[in-house]
């Protein structure tokens, strides 16, 4: 059956609460700040909040249920999206359908996590059953070690060099220098990238994100609602999600987008050339490169040549991760799965400030989440269009 469009549903009111490296506050605190800002932007009082979608790793022992009472909210629609780096797109597509069906008028989508000293280690220890049973007892390198295996196999298979991945990291740092809220504030050269110390070969220091605390939010509502409230908004041209794709591949060289990408372009009636801004999930440059391929910007294995031939900065011919991405802004837990979508929403509504790509109207956002055992399980992507009002 052909999927319905998202006509009449939009997203608006992008919020990024500036990240900090360590925070003694809780996920509740970070979520409250982002929620308050996004509701304020739309002029909605907390007690009038209609729907809520939450993504967080550090709410324990609470769930979003506890959060409603904690924050004094009484929504008629409540969702929790546990897909990590794919949370933003997946929260959006669920909220959009609920708004479209009339189950709810406005959904606040919020992701946030705190980061106390040692909380990264404890988060890892209890991350998933397979990681507890079958990866962390093997050197406890965390995601660095798991992605090092992917990168090692990818480089071996396609002959990609470290310089190629370095170009992605270096371009994002250049972008981050235009984002006052990025945690990384000094320029990064390709030489510095190449000379950095190894963390888990071939993953070196500048291949890694910095765990931090922060939160992100946006609202999903009907288009007439956004117009009535005077909010700049973006329409949803298409979305996809997929879990545990290509399970028989011995090592993950292709993400789940490979299954669904044609449907995404069909639904959006678009092709890769139509994308003005791309926001990929960049927990590691190799994963961004994999997305360039799987999202159809170049053929499988040609990611290295692609980044050599394109300029990935804000002013370049292929603007990518314009805020600096997680590599330069920081990874605030589940908020990392929102960062690209919230930045894309700012871009296509001309609200991106220093990182604004001129005339950006059409953005693609992809998410990648949850390294459950040896690979990322969740993939998602969306194409959104800024409204010309």
Quote the least distance from Cβ 251 to other proteins, whole Å: 5
195 touching other proteins, by CB under 8 A? no
352 touching other proteins, by CB under 8 A? no
166 touching other proteins, by CB under 8 A? no
List alpha helices for the chain, DSSP H: 27-42, 64-70, 87-101, 119-125, 129-134, 142-158, 162-176, 190-195, 223-229, 257-268, 285-294, 303-309, 325-329, 336-348
Q: Which stretch binds other proteins (CB under 8 A): 138-146, 159-167, 235-243, 327-335?
A: 138-146
304 touching other proteins, by CB under 8 A? no
Q: Which stretch binds other proteins (CB under 8 A): 9-17, 149-157, 165-173, 263-271?
A: 149-157
Query: Quick one: 127 or 218, whose CB is closer to other proteins?
Result: 127
Number of residues that bind other proteins (CB under 8 A): 39
Contact by Cβ (8 Å): 30, 214? yes
Determine phi and psi for 206, rounding to 5 degrees: -85, 5
User: Can you tell me which of 150, 267, 360, 371 binds other proteins, judged by CB under 8 A?
Assistant: 150
284 touching other proteins, by CB under 8 A? no
Quote the least distance from Cβ 118 to other proteins, whole Å: 8
194 touching other proteins, by CB under 8 A? no
Distance separating alpha carbons of residues 51 and 222, to the nearest angstrom: 13
Contact by Cβ (8 Å): 260, 266? no
* Nearest to 89, CA basis, from 58, 64, 59, 53: 53
Query: Quick one: 134 or 299, whose CB is closer to other proteins?
Result: 134
3-class SS at 16? strand
- The pattern of x and - marking residues 228 through 267 that bind other proteins according to CB under 8 A reads -------------------x--xx----------------
CA angle 215, 290, 265 (to 5 degrees): 85
3-class SS at 45? coil
Helices (H) and strands (E) in the chain, counts: 14, 11
Quote the least distance from Cβ 165 to other proteins, whole Å: 15
103 touching other proteins, by CB under 8 A? no
158 touching other proteins, by CB under 8 A? no
Q: Is the peptide bond before 202 cis (omega within 30 degrees of 0)?
A: yes
Q: What residues form DSSP beta bridges with 308?
A: none
The footprint of other proteins (CB under 8 A) covers 118, 120-121, 124-125, 129-130, 132-142, 144-146, 148-150, 152-153, 156, 197-203, 247, 250-251, 373-374
């Amino acid at each position: 059956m052909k999927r319905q469009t998202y006509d009449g549903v939009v997203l608006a009111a992008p919020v990024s609460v500036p990240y900090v490296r360590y925070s003694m506050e809780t996920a509740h605190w970070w979520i409250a700040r982002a929620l308050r800002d996004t509701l304020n932007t739309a002029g909605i009082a907390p007690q009038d909040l209609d729907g809520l979608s939450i993504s967080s790793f550090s709410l324990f022992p609470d769930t979003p249920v506890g959060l409603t009472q904690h924050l004094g909210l009484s929504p008629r629609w409540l969702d929790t999206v546990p897909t990590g780096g794919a949370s933003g797109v997946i929260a959006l597509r669920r909220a959009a359908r609920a708004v479209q069906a009339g189950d709810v008028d406005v959904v606040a989508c919020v992701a946030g996590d705190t980061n106390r000293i040692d909380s990264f280690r404890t988060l890892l220890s209890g991350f998933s059953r397979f990681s507890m049973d079958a990866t962390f007892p093997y050197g406890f390198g965390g995601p660095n070690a798991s992605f090092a295996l992917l990168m090692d196999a990818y480089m071996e298979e396609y002959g990609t060099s470290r310089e190629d991945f370095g170009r992605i990291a270096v371009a994002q740092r250049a972008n981050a220098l235009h984002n006052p809220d990025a945690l990384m504030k000094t320029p990064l050269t390709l030489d510095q990238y190449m000379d950095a110390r190894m963390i888990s070969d071939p993953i070196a220091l500048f291949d890694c994100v910095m765990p931090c605390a922060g939160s992100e939010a946006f609202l999903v509502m009907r288009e007439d609602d956004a117009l009535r409230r005077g909010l700049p908004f973006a329409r949803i041209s298409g979305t996809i999600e997929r879990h545990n794709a290509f399970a028989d591949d011995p090592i993950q060289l292709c993400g789940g987008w490979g299954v669904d990408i044609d449907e995404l372009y069909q639904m959006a009636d678009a092709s890769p050339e139509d994308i003005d801004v791309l926001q990929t999930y960049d927990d590691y440059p190799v994963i961004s490169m994999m997305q360039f391929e799987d999202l159809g910007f170049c053929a499988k294995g040609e990611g290295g040549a692609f980044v050599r031939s394109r300029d990935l900065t804000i002013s370049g011919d292929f603007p990518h991760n314009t805020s600096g991405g997680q590599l330069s802004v920081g990874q605030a837990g589940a908020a990392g799965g929102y960062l690209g979508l919230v930045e894309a929403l700012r871009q296509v509504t001309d609200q991106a400030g220093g990182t604004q790509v001129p005339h950006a109207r059409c953005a693609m956002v992809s998410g990648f989440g949850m390294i459950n055992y040896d690979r990322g399980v969740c993939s998602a992507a969306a194409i959104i269009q800024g409204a010309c009002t």
